[in-house]
Amino acid sequence: MRAVHLTAFGNPIECLEFVQIQEPPAPGPGQVLVGVEFSPINLNDLLVVRGTYPLRPSLPSVIGNEGVGRILAVGPGVQNVTVGDRVLTPLYGFAWAERIVVPAEGLFALPADVDPQQLAMLTINPPTAALLLSEFVDLAPGDWVVQNAANSGVGRAVIAFAKARGFKTINIVRRPELIDELKALGGDLVIVDTPEGLNLVKAALGTAAPRLAIDGVGGPSAATLINLLGRNAMFVAYSALGKAPIPISGIALIFKRISVRGFFLSDPEHAAKIRPSVVEAAELLRSGRLYAPVAATYPLSAIKDAVAHVERGGKVLLDVAAG
């Protein structure tokens, strides 16, 4: 069957290879066989390839940290799902193969009326957004949250979850053409990261100030978030897309009393909270309140072209079931 192998740690275009591998064994007790349909190429997948992620498989190895597929067979004792159900592949389930055997524990049938491409992106970004909004500050309806990378998968999910929970969002983007789109999704304020944009936000807030800043970029963009935070607020970093340090001044720490934290979805304390967040996100997808644009899909055989597209920019899915 078709798959993608990581053959060495390093440059993704050089180290990922389309291969033919043996079929997996029949599912054993408590296991299911999943026919994978779609799997995104995420930043964390590419970090796995480069050898800089906490997950470091023995090589050669199939990788792929999230995806969606249909259950093709169930092993003895499995009662929570059945053949034909569409399910998410487990986090770090190595989804870049046509068929995989995985534990049935934690799997559940997804809504039948939701686009599988959108479902394929549920395991990482939406739970990250949901937990960023709940684990650091006890937010109340009407409270403000500010984020950068607002057009990212996490950023769009933050907007959707915040709207559903009654929070208000300030969303910082790099391109003005994104403003109307993110407002239509529910973003209360959407601004370009410029001094003029910052002034517009401060004028709109008046005496109010965000209690939570969500940073996926670092560098000067993180400084913009810190500038907007109020006293005793929380700054949380979940990614470092800009690869620059977070510039937090002593003044902000001393006079604003800002707290700084990091977030990693795979930390053990989050494990029990991921499934409820995914269930909530699936309902947001069904209602149209959550949506992540897909720039392109590629078959497994075009893995090098797919990775090149990701590195140029845009959300790319592997169409694992494609011939």
The Cα 236–Cα 230 span in angstroms is: 14
Collapse the DSSP code of 245 into the 3-class scheme (helix H, G, I; strand E, B; otherwise coil) and give the result.
coil
Strands 212-215 and 144-147: parallel
Alpha helices in 26-102 (DSSP H): 43-50
Residues with active-site annotation? 53
CA 160, 293, 93, 264 dihedral sign is negative
282, amino acid identity: A
Collapse the DSSP code of 3 into the 3-class scheme (helix H, G, I; strand E, B; otherwise coil) and give the result.
strand
Strands 86-88 and 68-74: antiparallel
Tokens matching residue 119:
């479902």
Helix 271-287 to helix 125-134 angle (10° resolution) is: 110
Tokens matching residue 43:
């930043």
